[in-house]
Amino acid sequence: MAVIKANTEDVRLLARLMRAEAEGDGDQGMLLVGNVGVNRVLADCLDFGDIRDINRMVFQNPGGFESTQKGYFYQRARQSEIRLAQRVINGERFWPASNSLWFFRPVGDCPDTWYNQANTGRFKAHCFFSPTGEDCPSVY
């Protein structure tokens, strides 16, 4: 059962985002990006208080994703990414992005915090950051 509302186009859009942001990190990396996206739709806090659907989440500006803002959000979703997107929409969560609202690709090590959010871990090229349960209980 889906944890957020999503039609076929929403699933494809999330799949495109996952591919654009983390294709180089493989399926697991794309699932982690998908978790961040779903968490942003679920969150009713911080920078995401008015994000209630996948389209708004994907194209949020400012504060959105680099791929949609810097011009590399152009590839269509393949069936493999669509299946991955459906998994995270259905509620599958993966550490270190289980409750994360942010990730980025640093040049070196992951910082302990990023915009006052705790580092929850790294997967390949990306570091993930989560708010506290007090700051954003809707993602916990």
Phi, psi torsion values for 81, nearest 5 degrees: -70, -35
* Domain boundaries along the sequence of the chain: 8-99
The mean pLDDT value for 12-30 works out to 97
Average pLDDT on 111-128 reads 95
pLDDT at 1: 78
Q: Which residue has the higher pLDDT, 21 or 73?
A: 21
pLDDT band at residue 51 under the 50/70/90 scheme: very high
For the cut 90, the answer to whether the pLDDT of residue 62 exceeds it is: no
- Please state the rounded mean pLDDT for residues 65-94: 94
Residue located via tokens 């980025």: 104
Q: Which stretch of DSSP H or E encloses residue 102?
A: strand 102-104
The model carries a pTM of 0.96
Q: Could you tell me which of 5, 13, 72, 107 has the C-alpha nearest to residue 127?
A: 107
User: Given pLDDT bands bounded at 50, 70 and 90, which one contains residue 28?
Assistant: very high
Task: Tell me what pLDDT residue 65 has.
Answer: 93
Question: For position 115, what pLDDT does the model report?
Answer: 86
3-state secondary structure 43-79: CCCHHHCCCCCHHHHHCCCCCCCHHHHCCCCCCCCCH
pLDDT of 133 higher than 90: no
CATH fit for domain 8-99, picks 1.10.10.2520, 1.20.1260.10, 3.30.420.40, 1.10.3720.10: 1.10.10.2520
The amino acid present at 128, given as its one-letter code, is: F
pLDDT of residue 96: 98
Average pLDDT score over residue span 42-66: 93
Asked whether residue 138 carries a pLDDT value surpassing 90, the answer given is no
